[in-house]
A and B are shown apart, each in its own frame.
Chain A
Amino acid sequence: MAKEDVIVIGSGGGGAVIAKELGEMGLKVLVLEAGPWYGNKKWQNPNLQPGAKISSTFDDLDVSLYKQLVNKYEQNMNDLVSGRFRWGPADRSRSQWFRNIKQKGMIWQSSGVGGTTQVYTANCPRAFPMAVDHVWPLSYLELIPYYEKVEDTLPVNFAPTTAKEELFYYGAKKAGWHLIPTLDVTVPGFRPQPNAILPPNNNILNPHVRLEELSWMEGCTLAGHCVNGCPHGPSMDKIAKRSTNVSYVPLALKTSNVTIRPNAFVLKIVTDIDSSEGLRAIGVVIRDTWTGEKEELQAKVVVMAAGSIESPRLWMNSGLPHNPWVGKGLVNHYMDWLTGIFAEKELMPILGSSDVNPFVGHTCGARLDYPGLGTLQTVGMSPGLTASFFGMSESGYDFLTSSMTKGRLYGDELKEVMTNYRRTLSVLVSTDDEVDPQNGITLDPLISDEHGSVPVVAYKPTKRSKRKRSELVKIAVDILYKAGAKKIIWSNWPAGNMIHMESTMRMGFVVDENCESYDVKRLYIADNSVHYNSLGGPNPTLTTQALATRTAEKLFNKYF
């Protein structure tokens, strides 16, 4: 059995990053991914046939195949049960993988090369310095060079302005907020979203270049399919939205040191006891999701990057030592959702157009940051997803009609809002969420699947998180009214909406400041789960990627 230098479990936000970094350092890396690989010649029909076992060369990437598979249809791509971007095996005629969640909510994660970054909106804000300094086991200053490296590699840029950002900036200014022209946020204010999306091509406004031609050129076309899967660009490594399958994975393959194996679910971390190191990781057991065959693979170092649910689940299903913080302390930015409906005559003088067209431009192009409270972000999505977000509420149906509805939409009111879909602006509230050991991932004592005991996911906000969310809701309502909204829908989302999960394998508790586990040597973690807290509210991916970059360095220096 060939022994790898490093095995990385998961190819999403963190796994692809650490694989590329280690590959560039000359280590032989095997990345194991549970889901399919879209846009690789070795998997022409990734959802129908097993295809090849591995791919390790950049030449295998095929943008035409990617464009054929990632077809931007929201049910086909985003359905949580049968969509291409779901948490499940490549074969879509089979069910998704089960998680037991005994409360209102949903878990938005995706398997497949690129992981959940396939479906993320590419937002790349840094953590708030105040949420890291004197709180985390490392300082914000120590993170900055790694932030810069990731921002340069993805690359990150500020979102261009389309109508919905313009409307948000207009409302925020009228509400008394100022532009904060910074990456390191210490005071409240609005700013364009730092996004891992290539800037629009210079021909975006050139009527002689057809939009279809533009979609084969470099740069964002403002098509609005960040969540449905962006396939626009001339080659796989130059797709506009920088999911890791188009950013870090191509770079990893270019090192000639990285091999990626999709359709491989890791069941167990294998350990032994070494006379000098004590308990240490020496490999993994995987299960081929097409054939069901199991196999043991060995490595000098193992990196878990399976996400905030699967990393602790794998730890516990592997029977690794009991640590009271494994799976505990889940934060999810205790989110909420507000939508303003605007009248044509109000929009004309602000935008020069009668519609907001939420489906145009970056899905999340503008934000307001408030250290100590959290963040607000504009969101514009395709209609099915938009409508489905009106179906979730902690407060059920609101049977009242006024200029503000709190609760779930139904009947004529839903109809009215959706008829006005093109004149809506939605805002996502993302709270500076507090770590509470009551929240997190445990194993279901009664239910197991082909990969072991299934995870139970539980989250309840603390009083402080609740207070912060309600402050942010007030700010969002004010901005929407100041922008001219004639009516606001306040969804009052359930607490269990898991979109930004973090902190279930906390730094300083489960892993040290270099992200190596305290209990098992040579076992590292490179996903959101190592975050010490919720970063103050900003989206987690960039921080995960910065930490993964740093972890690669630390791991290399210690063991190679």
Chain B
Amino acid sequence: MAQVDEALDLSVYEYIIWILDHSISIPIEMQLQLVHPTFSKSTAQLLDVAAAQLIQTGQVKYPLNVCAFSGGGPFASLMESDRLKAITLLERLELNLENLPSPYQNNPGLIQNMMDVLNQLTMFGHYSEWNAYGSTRLLPPESRRIEYFPPGWIEVQYPGPAFGYRDFRGYLMAFPHKRGEDSWRKRT
């Protein structure tokens, strides 16, 4: 639960939405019928379909919280472990693939892949420097500027980009260069 709260605090959902909506070029999106709604919206709808099925079939363990996320649908109203169940439902394709939004409709591989992608993006968004782009984080990459030390890096005690470390402990073996140990140095 703590993880989810912190991911929310770091606005990682904004990262996921940005990435999904910038991952596919418009001509391809049109071929995938993805312009209305956007890729992030249809992915949210996918999660909502699974959450609704979970709720309707009485598989939800915890009470719903409809105010958890402003503007959120059924998936956002689930508690963490029930959300994982909804994702698992999609991963196991235990729902009617006919009723899903494009491009997920009858596309089992994409659904399964997206369940990994959403997890990966959440983790990368949380533990990379993304949040530290602060007020510039939703701008195009060339306009982003680091505004503070990334909170995810503080959490894991990563010191950030480094010029080097002095942890040299010698060599186990020397490389047997056929033309003499320092031929590269001589040549350059």
Chain A positions within 8 Å of B, measured between CB atoms, are 45, 47-48, 71-76, 79, 81-83, 92-96, 98, 101-106, 148, 151-153, 155-158, 160-163, 165-166, 169, 179, 181, 183, 191-192, 194, 200, 204-205, 207, 210-212, 214-215, 221-225, 228, 232, 237-238, 357, 359-361, 382-393, 396-397, 408, 410-412, 414-415, 418-419, 421-422, 446-450, 454, 494, 496
Of A98, A181, A385, A389, most buried by chain B (CB within 10 Å of CB) is A98
Q: A153-B184, A396-B91 are in contact. Are A192 and B162 (CB under 8 A)?
A: no
Instruction: Identify 21 residue pairs between A and B in the complex whose beta-carbon atoms are under 8 Å apart, listed by A's number.
Output: A75-B133, A76-B129, A81-B19, A83-B141, A92-B142, A93-B140, A162-B169, A179-B172, A200-B168, A211-B166, A237-B188, A361-B165, A384-B152, A386-B127, A388-B121, A388-B124, A391-B120, A396-B92, A411-B1, A418-B127, A494-B116
> Are B124 and A223 in touch, CB under 8 angstroms?
no
> Are B162 and A211 in touch, CB under 8 angstroms?
yes
CA distance A199 to B31 in the complex (A): 50
B27 at the A interface (CB under 8 A): yes
CA distance A419 to B154 in the complex (A): 10
> Are B109 and A102 in touch, CB under 8 angstroms?
yes
Chain B residues within an 8 Å CB radius of A418: 127, 155-156
Smallest distance from the beta carbon of A497 to chain B beta carbons, Å?
10
> Are B23 and A95 in touch, CB under 8 angstroms?
yes
A396 nearest CB neighbor, chain B only? B91
Q: Which of B46-54, B58-66, B70-78, B175-183 contacts A (4 or more CB under 8 A)?
A: B175-183
Q: Knowing that A98-B24, A383-B152, A387-B126 are A-B contacts, what are 17 other residue pairs whose CB atoms are under 8 Å apart, sorted by A's residue number?
A: A73-B146, A73-B161, A79-B128, A95-B28, A101-B113, A104-B115, A155-B177, A191-B172, A192-B172, A222-B164, A223-B161, A223-B163, A383-B127, A384-B128, A411-B4, A414-B3, A421-B158
Chain B residues within an 8 Å CB radius of A228: 161
> Are A384 and B124 in touch, CB under 8 angstroms?
yes
> Are B129 and A73 in touch, CB under 8 angstroms?
yes
> Are A391 and B161 in touch, CB under 8 angstroms?
no
Interface size class of B (residues with CB under 8 A): 35 or more
Interface residues of B in 120-136 (CB under 8 A from A): 120-130, 133
> Are B175 and A156 in touch, CB under 8 angstroms?
yes
> Are A447 and B168 in touch, CB under 8 angstroms?
no
> Are B167 and A103 in touch, CB under 8 angstroms?
no
Which of A96, A151, A415 contacts B23 (CB under 8 A)? A96
CA distance A214 to B164 in the complex (A): 8
Of A105, A162, A410, A494, most buried by chain B (CB within 10 Å of CB) is A410
CA distance A414 to B123 in the complex (A): 9
Which of A105, A151, A391, A454 contacts B119 (CB under 8 A)? A391
> Are A222 and B165 in touch, CB under 8 angstroms?
yes
Smallest distance from the beta carbon of A287 to chain B beta carbons, Å?
14
Give 5 nearest A-B pairs by CB, closest first: A384-B128, A221-B164, A102-B109, A391-B119, A72-B161
CA distance A397 to B118 in the complex (A): 13
> Are B24 and A95 in touch, CB under 8 angstroms?
yes
> Are B184 and A75 in touch, CB under 8 angstroms?
no
Which of A82, A152, A222, A223 contacts B141 (CB under 8 A)? A82
B128 nearest CB neighbor, chain A only? A384
CA distance A447 to B110 in the complex (A): 15
Chain B residues within an 8 Å CB radius of A361: 165, 167
> Are A421 and B164 in touch, CB under 8 angstroms?
no
Chain B residues within an 8 Å CB radius of A45: 142
Q: A156-B175, A392-B119 are in contact. Are A415 and B2 (CB under 8 A)?
A: yes
Q: A205-B166, A211-B162, A232-B164 are in contact. Are A183 and B177 (CB under 8 A)?
A: no
CA distance A209 to B4 in the complex (A): 44
B167 nearest CB neighbor, chain A only? A162
Interface residues of B in 16-66 (CB under 8 A from A): 19, 22-25, 27-28, 31-32
> Are A204 and B164 in touch, CB under 8 angstroms?
yes
> Are A232 and B84 in touch, CB under 8 angstroms?
no
Smallest distance from the beta carbon of B78 to chain A beta carbons, Å?
14
B107 at the A interface (CB under 8 A): yes
Which of B107, B161, B169, B175 contacts A194 (CB under 8 A)? B175
B13 at the A interface (CB under 8 A): no
CA distance A456 to B172 in the complex (A): 43
CA distance A155 to B184 in the complex (A): 7
CA distance A396 to B1 in the complex (A): 18
Which of A75, A194, A225, A392 contacts B129 (CB under 8 A)? A75
Chain B residues within an 8 Å CB radius of A415: 2-3
> Are B171 and A385 in touch, CB under 8 angstroms?
no
CA distance A222 to B142 in the complex (A): 28
Chain B residues within an 8 Å CB radius of A104: 109, 112-113, 115-116
A493 nearest CB neighbor, chain B only? B116
> Are A450 and B27 in touch, CB under 8 angstroms?
yes
Smallest distance from the beta carbon of B171 to chain A beta carbons, Å?
6
Q: A92-B140, A205-B166 are in contact. Are A385 and B175 (CB under 8 A)?
A: no
Chain A residues within an 8 Å CB radius of B153: 383
Q: A75-B130, A148-B178, A421-B156 are in contact. Are A454 and B28 (CB under 8 A)?
A: yes
Of B92, B110, B123, B179, most buried by chain A (CB within 10 Å of CB) is B123
Chain B residues within an 8 Å CB radius of A179: 172-173
Q: A103-B113, A391-B119 are in contact. Are A384 and B165 (CB under 8 A)?
A: no
CA distance A432 to B140 in the complex (A): 41
CA distance A411 to B87 in the complex (A): 14
Chain A residues within an 8 Å CB radius of B24: 95, 98
> Are A225 and B119 in touch, CB under 8 angstroms?
no
> Are B130 and A225 in touch, CB under 8 angstroms?
no
> Are A384 and B162 in touch, CB under 8 angstroms?
no
Chain A residues within an 8 Å CB radius of B164: 204, 211, 214-215, 221-223, 232
